[in-house]
Amino acid sequence: MLMRSERSGDQPLIEARGLSVCVNGHDIINDIDLAIFPGQIVTLIGPNGAGKTTLVRALLGLVPYRQGKVMLARGLKIGYMPQRLRIDPIVPLTVQRFLTLNNRVARAEVRHALREVGASHVESAPVQVISGGEFQRVLLARALLRDPTVLVLDEPAQGVDVAGQGELYKLIAAIRDRRGCAVLMISQDLHLVMEAADSVICLNHHVCCTGLPEAVSRHPEYLKLFGALRPGGLAIYTHHHDHQHNLHGCVVPLSDNRGNTDADSR
Amino acid sequence: MPILDDFMLRALAAGTAVAVVAGPLGSFIVWRRMAYFGDTLAHSSLLGIALGFLFNLGLNWTVMAVCAAVALLLAILQRQRRLATDTLLGVLAHSALALGLVAVAFAEGLRVDLMGYLFGDILAIANRDLAWIYASGGLALLGILGLWRPLLCMTIDEELAKVEGVPVIWVNIAQMLLVAVIIAVAMKIVGILLVTALMIIPAATARRFAASPEQMALLASLIGCLAVVGGLSASLQWDTPAGPSIVAAAAVAFVVAYALPGRVYRPTTRPSRT
């Protein structure tokens, strides 16, 4: 079974092998293998504290890793959207200025990017007064303005209203189709794995399972993993693990009183 | 109306030069919450003065060297994540101040001048000092303009800047060194104790009226210049100490700016959804 872009023999844009990150003596992630190919959408899912953000930060070089290897393709341009970004009100900054801070782009391009993410109306507002959902869109626009080869999005839908979330995921898929960039995305919500994801990685300190939505319907093992695709852009990622984790994240055998992961019960 | 003497002109020239550089640099100090860092360097400069006296070296250079050393030390210590920056600053500031005071005790003749270093002596600025202020101030200004974009990116978010290719560590060190330079220079104007005020108060005042980072930096420079002019005039008029008068004038500007009705910063620019 090959991933969509693997077939063409492309080199991965970002590749990790045996990656382990240890923070203050605690293993956050362990022995992770992962590859993101051009034009591919890879979604990382997993419960709180599973190490999703840590994995992404290790890939970006923001946290040192204890073991393993991270390989970035030559000339890789990353558009990064962090999980949290709070701009102190002491800095006078409009959305427009925020978008051009590290990108020397024309005003028309800024407008275009804002239109693309559906946030045109906040262009001249100070960044501190727009809503969380609007700010997420602005962050996405900022990542897009860098004309990235890979978009790295850490929970892009947080703070976005329920109706907006599906819309936002659709938008990300549309951006990939339009620009051909790869997307590595973290989503905490197991129910909101988008239809367009080429690869889903379920993380809980280690890679629990990976799924390729396109092959799901044919592969009996993944059928068990994914369940049926619901029309309307959302794929339901029904989740059954062959093991579970205790409070320390250690793998323990499955017990009867625990069928779902934490995130499933949301 | 008092007559503008030579020393008064020199004081004005020196004070406004420092205020112009302090505007953008002070804005960054305010944005990046580095006010205590400025104080730490200012405290350390006493050690620089004492060392300069003890080893008979140029005071400007020893002050700058000690400030730079403390800044680099902080940058190194910050890389470990166990102690918070304010704790590190507290350790550095007071250790340096204590060492400075101990060193001062060894330096004969310095005790007499201590007040001058603590509170500045802008009226005693000589032409040689003026040249020094303009040269190092000009360099600091060029430095801050050159680093403007990467520094601003780091101010917004250090990790985002790093991912976007800003050499975060080096820009950070460069900014710390710039603060070290400007503190060594501004020390002559308002003294060790008040030097941070000259950077922070005009920037904080400017925030009230600024709509962009650049506006804030420019306004901070302007307000700083006004404070220098106002402080020096007051000092001439009422025979008050010049350095503290300048800082007091800046404080008045701050209070007036925030007490004034009218251009209050309110998030009213949010347009309605269409």
Backbone angles phi, psi at A22, to 5 degrees: -125, 120
As a whole number of Å, the end-to-end CA separation of chain B is 60
What per-residue confidence (pLDDT) applies to A246?
57
Boundary (domain end) residue, out of A147, A174, A189: A147
Of A104, A120, A147, the one marking the end of a domain is A147
Beta carbons within 8 Å of B27's beta carbon, 6+ residues apart: B203, B206, B213, B216, B217, B220
Provide the CATH number for the domain around residue A256. 3.40.50.300
Looking at the structure, do residues A73 and A107 belong to the same domain, yes or no? no
**Which residue ranges make up each domain of chain B?**
6-195
Structural domain including A53 reads: 14-77+149-265
Q: Is residue A6 part of a domain?
A: no
**Cβ neighbours of B254 (radius 10 Å):** 22
Task: Give me the sign of the Cα torsion angle A34, A38, A40, A44.
Answer: positive
Determine the Cα–Cα distance for residues A244 and A204; give it in Å rounded to an integer: 9
Q: Are residues A208 and A235 in the same domain?
A: yes
Is A209 inside a domain boundary?
yes
CA distance between the termini of chain A: 32
Task: Determine contact: B117 vs chain A, CB below 8 A.
Answer: no
Query: Measured on CA atoms in the order A201, A202, A207, A210, is the torsion positive or negative?
Result: negative
What is the count of residue pairs from A and B with beta carbons less than 8 Å apart? 78
Does one domain contain both A143 and A215?
no
Cβ pair B269:A78 closer than 8 A: no
Best of B81, B159, B163, B264 to disrupt the A interface by mutation (most A CBs within 10 Å)?
B163
Contact predicate B232/B246, CB 8 Å: yes
- Mutate which: A63, A76, A87, A90, vs B, most B CBs within 10 A: A90
Low-confidence ranges of chain B (pLDDT < 70): 1-5, 109-112, 262-274
Q: Is B107 exposed, middle or buried (0-12, 13-18, 19+ CB in 10 A)?
A: middle
**Cα–Cα distances in Å, from B214 out to A94, B21, B217?**
12, 13, 5
Residue A117 within a domain: yes
> What is the least distance, in Å, from the CA of A193 to any CA of chain B?
25
d(CA B189, CA A198): 64
On whether both A25 and A48 belong to a single domain, the answer is: yes
pLDDT at B228: 93
| pLDDT (tens place) for every residue of chain A, 266 residues total | 344 444 445 788 888 888 888 887 788 888 888 888 888 888 887 777 778 888 888 888 888 888 888 888 888 888 898 887 888 888 999 898 898 887 778 888 889 888 888 888 888 888 888 888 888 889 889 888 888 899 999 888 877 777 777 778 888 888 888 888 888 988 866 566 656 677 777 777 877 777 665 543 344 444 444 444 444 444 555 555 666 665 555 566 665 444 343 433 33
For residue B187, the distance in angstroms to the closest alpha carbon of chain A comes to 26
Measure in Å the smallest separation between the Cα of A97 and chain B Cα atoms. 8
Q: Under a CB-based contact definition with an 8 Å cutoff, are residues A81 and A135 in contact?
A: no
The tally of domains found in chain A comes to: 2
Please return the burial class of A133, using the count of CB atoms within 10 Å of its CB with bins 0-12, 13-18 and 19+.
Answer: middle
Domain range B6-195, CATH class:
mainly alpha
Does A55 share its domain with A181?
Answer: yes
Contact assignment for A102 to B149 by CB distance below 8 Å: yes
Residues 6 or more apart whose Cβ sits within 8 Å of residue A69: A16, A17, A18, A19
Alpha helices in B147-273 (DSSP H): 148-156, 158-163, 168-190, 195-207, 213-238, 242-259
B98, B47 contact by CB (below 8 A): no
User: Mapping DSSP to helix (H, G, I), strand (E, B) and coil, where does residue A195 land?
Assistant: coil
Residue B43, token pair as written in the block: 């405290």
What is the Cα–Cα distance from A127 to A117, expressed in whole angstroms? 16
Q: What's the pLDDT at B270?
A: 45
CA dihedral A111, A117, A122, A127 (to 10 degrees): -110
Residues 6+ apart with CB under 8 A from A20: A27, A29, A30, A31, A32, A65, A66, A67, A68
pLDDT of residue B116: 78
**In terms of Cα–Cα distance, which of A164, A172, A168 is closest to A79?**
A172
Listed residues A147, A165, A190: the one ending a domain = A147
Predicted pLDDT at A192: 63
Q: What count of other Cβ atoms lies within 10 Å of the Cβ of residue B227?
A: 30
Residues in Cβ contact with B245 at an 8 Å cutoff, skipping those fewer than 6 apart: B231, B232, B234, B235
pTM of the model: 0.79
Same-domain pairing of A157 and A261: yes
- Contacts with A91 from chain B: Cβ below 8 Å: 31, 155-156, 213
**Residue among B161, B210, B271 minimizing CB distance to A92:** B210
Which residues of chain A have a CB within 8 Å of the CB of B164? 78, 80, 102, 146
Q: Which of 57-116 (B) contact A at CB < 8 A?
A: none
Q: Which of B30, B164, B271 sits opposite A102 (nearest CB)?
A: B164
Q: A182 and A62: one domain?
A: yes
Distance CA A138, CA A134 (A): 6
Pick from B156, B159, B267: CB nearest A126: B267
